[in-house]
C-alpha cells in the first residue's frame, strides 16, 4: 500500500535536519541516560518482594481485565493508593496508567471553558497536549519568570492585582490554574516553589506541579521537592510519575478527595482504558515501601550530583551547562549534527550519554543530557566529563 506523500515529505525533512528519531538498541554502556535515578528498576529485592506480595495475597492474575470502572479495579489499587496518599501527606491519590495519561486526563477535564491555564513555556509535552484538549484559554509564561506570570494573572482577571489580592472574600467568575514542574525534564532546573506558592495564594489561583523528575530524588525519603519544602497543603494537584525515580510504571494525581472523585467521572484517559495489572500496581506499592527504607540510596545520589557539579567546574565546563542541582544535567551544544557527533564519541568510549535534538528542544538549544544515578561511581563521573572536555575544547 502506498504511503501518503505528505507524510513521507515530513520524514525526509527530519532526515535532512539530522532530527529523525530511531529506537535505540539495548547496550552495556555506563548509564548516563536512563531516568532510573536510584536504581529501583534493577532492584532484585523489589522484584522478589512484589512477587511474594502477589503470592501471599493469592493474586494470580496477569491483567486488570478492563477499565477500573468496569472490572479492572482489583484490590491492590486501594492499598497502593492509600499508601501513596499517606506517604505524600495528601487527602487522596488516584493512579493513572502513565504520567502522560495523568497529565492529559487532568488538563483536558479539570480547567473549564472560561478558565485560564498559565503554564511555564518549558512544560512537558504531556502537559501541553492536555492543555490543547482543554476548553480553557491558555497562555505560557517565560521560564521560571514569576514577574511575567503575575502580569498574565492580572490580565486574566482584568482587574488591578492589588485590589484582587486584598479582597479575601472576592468570588472570582473563573479559575486560574498555574502549571509548572518541580524539576524540568530537559534542563534539570527547578523553579522557586515557595515564591510561586505565595503568588498563587495571593491571587487565589490553583497551583499544579508535575513532580515526575523529583520523586526519589528530593526529600529524605525521596518524597519530592514540594513535600521537602513543606508546601503540600498549598498545591491543588501534584502529578507523581513512577517511571523515573520509582523504577516502575504508572503515575498518580495527588489532591483532595473531591478532585479524585471528579477525575474518576470526567478524566477520559482514566475512564476509557484498561487498568494496570495487579503486578504493575504491586510493584508501585513495594517501590514506595522501599523509599522509606532507602535513605542511604537517595543520599548517595545527592553526593553524585554534588560531585558532578564540582567536576564540571574544575574542568571549566560550567558555562556550557544549564544550572541544576537535580539528577538531570544538560550541556548545551548547538546543532543537531554537532551534538550527535559528540554523543557518539562518548558512546564509543563506553558512556551512554544521549543527544537531545531539535525539535524536542528549541533550535540552538540542542544538548547532551546527563542523567545521574546512585550507582554511578565518582570515577565514572570524572571520566565522562574529562572526555567531554577533550571533545568540546
| pLDDT tens profile 171-223 | 456 899 999 999 999 999 999 999 999 999 999 999 999 999 999 999 999 99
Q: Which CATH class is domain 61-291?
A: alpha beta
Cβ neighbourhood burial of 384 (10 Å; 0-12, 13-18, 19+): buried
Check residue 164 and give its pLDDT: 45
Residue 149 phi/psi, 5° resolution?
-65, -45
Question: pLDDT per residue over 11-69, tens digit each?
Answer: 999 999 988 999 988 999 999 999 999 999 999 999 999 999 999 999 999 999 999 99
Cα distances (Å, whole numbers) of residue 300 to 123, 203, 216? 28, 40, 12
Average pLDDT of the residues in 384-391: 97
pTM of the model: 0.93
Q: Which residues contact 150 (CB under 8 A, 6 or more apart)?
A: 161, 199, 203
Element containing residue 141 per DSSP (H, E): strand 137-141
Query: What are the sequence ranges of the domains in the chain?
Result: 26-40+295-392, 61-291
CATH of 26-40+295-392 among 3.40.50.620, 3.30.465.10, 3.90.1150.10, 3.40.50.300: 3.90.1150.10
Amino acid at each position: 500500500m502506498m504511503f501518503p506523500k505528505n507524510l513521507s515529505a515530513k520524514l525526509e525533512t527530519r532526515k535532512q535536519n539530522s532530527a529523525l528519531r530511531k529506537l535505540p538498541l539495548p547496550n552495556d554502556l555506563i548509564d548516563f541516560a536512563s531516568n532510573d535515578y536510584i536504581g529501583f528498576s534493577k532492584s532484585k529485592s523489589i522484584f522478589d518482594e512484589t512477587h511474594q506480595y502477589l503470592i501471599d495475597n493469592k493474586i494470580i492474575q496477569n491483567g486488570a481485565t478492563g477499565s477500573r470502572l468496569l472490572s479492572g479495579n482489583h484490590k491492590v489499587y486501594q492499598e497502593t493508593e492509600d499508601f501513596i496518599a499517606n506517604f505524600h501527606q495528601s487527602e487522596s491519590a488516584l493512579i493513572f496508567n502513565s504520567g502522560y495519561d495523568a497529565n492529559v486526563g487532568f488538563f483536558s477535564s479539570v480547567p473549564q471553558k472560561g478558565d485560564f491555564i498559565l503554564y511555564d513555556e518549558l512544560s512537558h509535552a504531556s502537559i501541553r497536549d492536555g492543555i490543547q484538549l482543554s476548553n480553557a484559554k491558555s497562555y505560557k509564561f517565560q521560564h521560571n519568570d514569576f514577574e511575567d506570570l503575575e502580569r498574565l494573572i492580572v490580565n486574566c482577571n482584568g482587574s488591578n492585582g492589588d485590589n484582587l489580592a486584598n479582597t479575601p472574600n472576592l468570588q472570582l467568575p473563573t479559575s486560574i490554574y498555574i502549571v509548572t514542574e518541580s524539576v524540568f525534564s530537559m534542563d534539570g532546573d527547578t523553579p522557586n516553589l515557595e515564591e510561586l506558592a505565595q503568588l498563587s495564594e495571593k491571587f487565589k489561583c490553583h497551583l499544579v506541579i508535575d513532580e515526575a523528575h523529583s520523586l526519589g530524588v528530593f526529600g529524605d525519603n525521596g518524597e519530592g521537592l514540594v513535600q521537602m519544602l513543606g508546601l503540600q497543603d498549598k498545591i491543588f494537584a501534584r502529578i507523581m510519575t513512577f517511571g523515573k525515580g520509582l523504577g516502575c510504571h504508572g503515575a498518580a494525581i495527588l489532591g483532595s478527595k473531591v478532585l479524585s472523585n471528579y477525575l474518576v467521572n470526567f478524566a477520559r484517559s482514566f475512564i476509557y482504558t484498561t487498568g494496570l495489572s495487579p503486578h504493575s500496581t504491586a510493584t508501585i506499592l513495594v517501590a514506595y515501601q522501599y523509599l522509606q527504607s532507602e535513605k542511604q540510596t537517595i543520599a548517595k545520589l545527592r553526593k553524585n550530583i554534588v560531585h558532578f557539579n564540582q567536576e564540571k567546574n574544575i574542568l571549566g565546563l560550567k558555562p556550557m551547562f544549564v544550572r541544576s542541582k537535580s539528577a538531570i544535567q544538560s550541556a548545551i551544544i548547538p546543532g543537531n549534527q554537532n551534538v550527535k557527533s559528540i554523543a557518539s564519541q562518548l558512546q564509543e568510549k563506553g558512556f551512554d550519554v544521549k543527544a537531545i535534538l531539535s525539535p524536542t528542544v528549541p533550535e540552538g538549544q540542542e544538548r547532551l543530557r546527563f542523567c545521574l544515578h546512585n550507582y554511578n561511581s565518582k570515577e565514572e563521573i570524572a571520566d565522562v566529563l574529562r572526555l567531554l572536555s577533550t571533545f568540546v575544547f
